[in-house]
């Protein structure tokens, strides 16, 4: 009976430690996501984030690939492009160059290529489509 009780304690300790590790990882990811969202207007590198959360770049990379199923870089680009869509929707008349600069991209052509690669259409086509949808809603 003493052996069974000792084994039970070992199993419980193991489960608790695994849950603590998972909770710690979740907190790290939440802090990284918060950092990215709060600094979306800057060029964010994995090195910047690793220094912010006091973890190695390889740890950050592993966390993103295992928990979010995408690379750190891919996640940052997707967040920036989502913010770009918000700018286009909320600020009519804003230019592609202005949005690119607001998101930390010095080269608006690079920004446009990323937008097209990830969103499936260029920023110009996105704006045209948005305008067409707005015009058709207005007519109804």
Confidence (pLDDT) at 20: 47
Confidence (pLDDT) at 67: 83
The stretches in the chain having pLDDT less than 50 are 19-21
Q: How many whole angstroms separate alpha carbon 26 and alpha carbon 68?
A: 11
pLDDT tens digits, residue range 83-117? 999 999 898 889 999 999 999 999 999 999 999 99
CB atoms within 10 A of CB 139: 6
Determine the straight-line distance between the first and last CA of the chain, rounded to whole angstroms. 78
The SS3 of residue 115 is helix
Q: How many whole angstroms separate alpha carbon 76 and alpha carbon 120?
A: 17
Distances from the Cα of 140 to the Cα of 89, 90, 128, 134, 136, angstroms: 20, 21, 19, 10, 7
pTM: 0.76
């Amino acid at each position: 009976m003493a052996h069974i009780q000792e084994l039970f304690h070992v199993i419980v300790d193991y489960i608790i430690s695994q849950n603590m590790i998972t909770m710690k990882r979740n907190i790290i990811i939440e802090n990284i996501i918060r950092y990215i969202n709060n600094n979306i207007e800057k060029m964010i590198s994995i090195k910047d984030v690793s220094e912010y959360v006091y973890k190695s770049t390889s740890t950050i990379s592993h966390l993103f690939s295992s928990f979010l199923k995408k690379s750190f870089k891919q996640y940052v680009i997707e967040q920036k492009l989502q913010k770009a869509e918000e700018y286009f929707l909320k600020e009519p008349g804003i230019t592609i160059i202005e949005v690119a600069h607001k998101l930390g991209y010095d080269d608006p052509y690079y920004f446009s290529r990323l937008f097209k690669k990830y969103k499936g259409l260029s920023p110009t086509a996105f704006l045209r489509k948005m305008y067409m949808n707005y015009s058709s809603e207005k007519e109804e």
